[in-house]
Amino acid sequence: MAGTLSFETLKTQVTDGTIDTVLVCGVDMQGRLMGKRFHAVNFVETSHAETHCCNYLLATDLEMATPPGYKSTGWQSGYGDYVMQPDLSTLRPVPWLDGTVMVLCDLMDHDTHQPVPHSPRAILKKQIARLAELGFEAQMATELEFFLFEHSLDHIRKSGFRDLTPISGYNEDYHIFQTTKEEGIMRPLRNHLFAAGIPVENTKGEAEAGQEELNIRYSPALDCADHHTIAKNAVKEIAWQQGHAASFLPKWHPDRVGSSSHVHQSLWADGKPAFVDAEDALGMSVVMKHYMAGLIAFAPDYTYFLAPYVNSYKRFAKGTFAPTKTVWSVDNRTAGFRLCGAGTKGVRVECRIGGSDLNPYLAQAGMLAAGIKGIEDKMDLAPPTRGDVYEDAKAGDIPQTLRAATETLRNSSFLRAAFGDDVVDHYTRAAEWEQEEFDRAVTDWEIARGFERA
């Protein structure tokens, strides 16, 4: 892809002084880039083969705390190392940072040099390999929604996260004039990402003041997750460079709509779309129907990977374009799953459940595992739901709290078979810890409600 670098090109650029810094990055449980900044000479001479990181990076929370209860690591084992093995096919420039390139790494066991089973990239790669055994490749695309704020991250943090003023004053969904005012951030974002080899399609205003959407062209599943992760990091960095804050918190205000990350997906075989059947009324192949049946049937099982925090569940509400039901419909944004491109070669399914805070590797892995199960078991797809799905009492519900999603994850025999017991137990512990931390908190709402009147 235009924008990515060969290792030989990097050597040349290091020699001529164009590049002096290499970001060597792994992906943590939260979907964030974690790693080191290498002097480029050191990287091309030795560290392109491997480097190391503390294994606590796959056993922390958003605060980088060290929660107890993980089998993989902890104080009991002294927090050893993982090997960070650069995937040189991901080597790319970082045009918004001077003299800098980036490479993504696979995390490997220090002793065996085998992939760490619960690392997000390894989890997704496993499902991609399972799909390949069936003769398919997944093509996926994510939409990134986020809010831009008037003030900087430092200003907002020092205000106790109370001075939250969106960058615009009104709903800017598809609004050209309002988004023109934001081009100081959004234009460099599009152009820098494209120059970094991220196939950006467009940006647009979303359905709230200060809310933006970044759309990236479909690609093979692993590339899609890589693109999403790099783009999310770029949004934050480029907004910061311009003196503004960007947030992917799904629900930052009770009266404003939340931010999602819809995931479009289809399967291909022998270079051709496997979801297409021109003879079907909606253009859907039998494979697509089986895949979607699994996707929908097991949605509660993998909801945690679409909504991993307490705040994630504040987004699910009637009349907000965020779904509450695990059914599908034809081009209907009230359903958890929307059939897009019906009757065309671009027919695909869009999962609308995921929030802007999802880890794309884990989310895509969960959906692929469900789709694979649907294909393997030849599951039947129920007819599409019509009308306002929010009011459909017969439709299955998305888990409405992190606590409920944690229990479905813990008890999912389907995910235990697809991911392995240790992986499911690892992320169940992550979910438990998030809930435990919230349960210890005393919120502003509780104090204002009960301080005098209780």
Query: Is the predicted pLDDT of residue 114 greater than 50, yes or no?
Result: yes
C-beta neighbour count of 404 within 10 angstroms: 16
Top-ranked range on mean pLDDT: pick from 169-183, 277-291, 329-343, 379-393: 277-291
Tell me what the mean pLDDT of segment 352-364 comes to.
97
Confidence of residue 2 (pLDDT cuts 50, 70, 90): low
Confidence at residue 3, expressed as pLDDT on a 0 to 100 scale: 75
- At residue 374, the pLDDT reads 98
All structural domains of the chain: 7-113 (3.10.20.70), 127-445 (3.30.590.10)
| Cβ neighbour number for residue 335 with a 10 Å cutoff | 29
Q: Indicate the average pLDDT of the chain.
A: 94
- 1 pLDDT band, cuts 50/70/90, is very low
pLDDT in tens, 201-221: 999 999 899 999 999 999 999
Beta-carbon contacts of residue 309 (< 8 Å; ≥ 6 apart): 62, 250, 357, 402, 434
**What's the token pair of residue 397?**
């519900």
Q: Give percent of the chain above pLDDT 70.
A: 100
Q: Is the pLDDT of residue 437 over 90?
A: yes
Poorest-pLDDT segment among 67-76, 84-93, 357-366, 388-397 = 388-397
